[in-house]
Structure 1
Amino acid sequence: MQDLVELECKDWARKNINIKYEIRDNRKGYKAGALKKGMEHTYAQQCDFIAIFDADFQPDSDFLLKTIPFLVHNPKIALVQTRWEFVNYDVCLMTRIQKMSLDYHFKVEQESGSSMHAFFGFNGTAGVWRLSAINEAGGWKDRTTVEDMDLAVRTSLKGWQFLYVGDIRVKSELPSTFKAYRHQQHRWTCGAANLFRKMAKEIVKTKGVSVWKKLHLLYSFFFVRRVIAPILTFLFYCVVIPLAVMVPEVSIPVWGMVHIPTAITIMNAIRNPRSLHLMPLWILFENVMSLHRMRAALTGLLETMYVNEWVVTEKVGDHTKDTLEVPLLEPLKPSECVERIYIPELVVALYLLVCASYDFVLGAKHYYLFIYLQAFAFIALGFGFAGTSTPCS
């Protein structure tokens, strides 16, 4: 990939285009370290704006013509975030489910935050930053694995505004293997929880920021969405409800069992009417992933051993190195063996099977069908039967 980028840059340089190809010889600070190193170059410091793209993103040729005017005509805007478009969403069921979740994220979280002039996070790619805003906020920091969120929070505390433009879409690729998706979700969830731990006091002590904004950042953006949501989802739906069938004294509130899941499902269904038939599978998949996200959130919050673990999210383009054209998307051929067995998922599956069977045989027969479905979902993902597979070594 690096050779292809270098050749492309040289080709443009021969056309008298002011373009530079830079790499570094270490991974210190990971993505934040790379961005920080890139901004040290003289030619970068002379720019007013910086566009950021991950390796698998393919912006249209007029991307800057569409985004830069927002920054030029409104000096209060620090960031223009654009929409991701997924070119491989139909590779497998797992990518379809990812698209449903990310569509909800962009429409409900990003667009609503932008339209209400409230804070929303930078997605790390497909965005254009004002350089002066980055410098005023203190630049890129590698203290967590979510350098994009870190910078966005610090910039927002300085009074800068963000703009989300959903009409501008950038082609990108979803991780299509379960292993890659788990690594990605660990990094995102763990990093966000760890950033909350590191920035909570800083946000409280920041002067010149309204109490409402501090409360929104601390409670809504961080505590509820990045800490409570992943922990509560797993504990309530995968532990408390199954346990309730064996402990009659445990009373499950209707709002938790019915109202909240129904509301979330309806909001996702509205954004994905063509995927309405996949909503039950989306719910089961998200419940399984809640185990992984809970572990990641606790890792970040407690700052344990793997808090700064950074594994590059593998994309299928990584496996097309033998061709000069690297298509964003040619699905991997499934192998005939399972790549990996995930013990935690299988342990939870066993627990769910015991609870469901007890409810079916000796209990009130209220939840056994729901618990059985969850158990089968944990078994399927525990044996790695999700997404495409890479050949086993």
Structure 2
Amino acid sequence: MTRIQKISLDYHFKVEQESGSSSYAFFGFNGTAGVWRISAINEVGGWKDRTTVEDMDLAVRASLKGWKFLYVGDVKVRSELPSTFKAYRHQQHRWTCGAANLFRKMARDIVLAKEVSLLKKIHVIYSFFFVRRVVAPIVTFAFYCIVIPVSVVVPEVSIPIWGVVYIPTTITILNAIRNPSSLHIMPFWILFENVMSMHRMKAALIGLLETASVNEWVVTQKLGDTLKEKMETNVAESTRTSFIRDRVSFLQLGFAVFLMCCASYNVVFGVNYYYVYIYLQAFAFVVMGFGYVGTFTTNS
């Protein structure tokens, strides 16, 4: 699972962060491996806990005050990634929900900011927030996990080949440029990201609508933390209960059933070969629904 995360993170750092730094002197601070001027933090009001992305919040406020950001890509630091799907899901929920909620809270401030140019405002509002943090997860899940499967049972719906083939191929190539050694796992990355889009869409809507759970904070558990807790705890749990709690997602399994029904209908009555993709995506939902992705450790 960490190999799949590497594909997304490499694109994030080498494309999003590099382009933001060179073009607009702004990018979202990732919370670690960064150097801040104390005067910048003080000028913008310091750290705030109004969202679950306090590092991004600080970066946006500093940018609106005219501070410039520089991304130094040749400096390497070590970082531990979530090694279990449950931990990764919680992390992505927090990041997506927090970013969408920050967009809701700061959209007006960005528009009225006097220290930044109109072009930079458009970049922050449209590209940084709206497209990447709101539109991307919603469109990905809606199109590739709902529209395409439903289209096989509704003959009146015809999806052009550029939507089914060309766009996914282009996205894959763009991500593969930075990861030639991971080209063989790109198909798994696509299926993995489509499953994650369901969780990210839910998180984005929670952040935009600012529901009661918008500021829910679940610390991302890393393998090192898990092993430490495992050594320190004396609490014995039922293996079966622990398995269901830590690994099984009934939402994903239920959606897998929906996809399998659509694919099977396409096999029997369809005139295209969408069932190949839909079956693969259903299988991905099953695998991830049972938590058979990444390392698995228990506290028992």
After TM superposition, the structure 1 = structure 2 runs for residues 146-161 of structure 1, keeping only pairs within 5 Å, are 146-161=53-68
Residue matched to 2:171: 264
Residue matched to 2:209: 302
Choose which of 155, 167, 183 in structure 1 pairs with 2:74: 167
Residue matched to 1:280: 187
Does residue 140 of structure 1 match 2:50? no
Cα separation, 2, equivalents of 1:255 and 1:154: 39
Q: Does the residue aligned with 1:312 lie in a helix, a strand or coil?
A: coil
Cα separation, 2, equivalents of 1:276 and 1:172: 23
Residue matched to 2:282: 375
Give the deviation of 1:306 after TM superposition.
1.5
How many residues align? The count is 290
Are the counterparts in 1 of residues 229 and 299 from structure 2 also a CA contact under 8 Å? no
Residue matched to 1:218: 125
Does residue 195 of structure 1 match 2:102? yes
Q: Where does the alignment leave 5 or more consecutive residues of structure 2 unmatched?
A: 232-241
The structure with the largest helix share of the pair is 2
Amino acid at match of 1:375: A
Cα separation, 2, equivalents of 1:298 and 1:97: 25
Give deviations 1:171-212, integer Å, cap 9, x for gaps: 111100111101100000000000001111111122243221
Cα separation, 2, equivalents of 1:115 and 1:311: 34
Amino acid at match of 1:97: I
Are the counterparts in 2 of residues 186 and 293 from structure 1 also a CA contact under 8 Å? yes
Give deviations 1:134-179, integer Å, cap 9, x for gaps: 1111111111000111111111111111011111111111100111
Choose which of 118, 125, 130 in structure 1 pairs with 2:32: 125
CA RMSD of aligned residues (A): 1.9
TM-score (norm 1): 0.71
Residue matched to 2:239: none
Choose which of 209, 230, 244 in structure 1 pairs with 2:116: 209
Give the deviation of 1:114 after TM superposition.
1.4
After TM superposition, the structure 1 = structure 2 runs for residues 305-344 of structure 1, keeping only pairs within 5 Å, are 305-321=212-228, 339-344=246-251
Give the deviation of 1:270 after TM superposition.
1.2
Residue matched to 2:14: 107
Q: Where does the alignment leave 5 or more consecutive residues of structure 1 unmatched?
A: 1-93, 325-334
Q: Does the residue aligned with 2:21 lie in a helix, a strand or coil?
A: helix
Q: Does the residue aligned with 1:257 lie in a helix, a strand or coil?
A: helix
Are the counterparts in 2 of residues 359 and 365 from structure 1 also a CA contact under 8 Å? yes
After TM superposition, the structure 1 = structure 2 runs for residues 228-239 of structure 1, keeping only pairs within 5 Å, are 228-239=135-146
Cα separation, 1, equivalents of 2:116 and 2:207: 26
Cα separation, 2, equivalents of 1:270 and 1:166: 16
Q: Does the residue aligned with 2:221 lie in a helix, a strand or coil?
A: coil
Identity score, percent: 73
Are the counterparts in 1 of residues 84 and 294 from structure 2 also a CA contact under 8 Å? yes
Residue matched to 1:185: 92
Return 383-392 or 360-369, whichever deviates more: 383-392
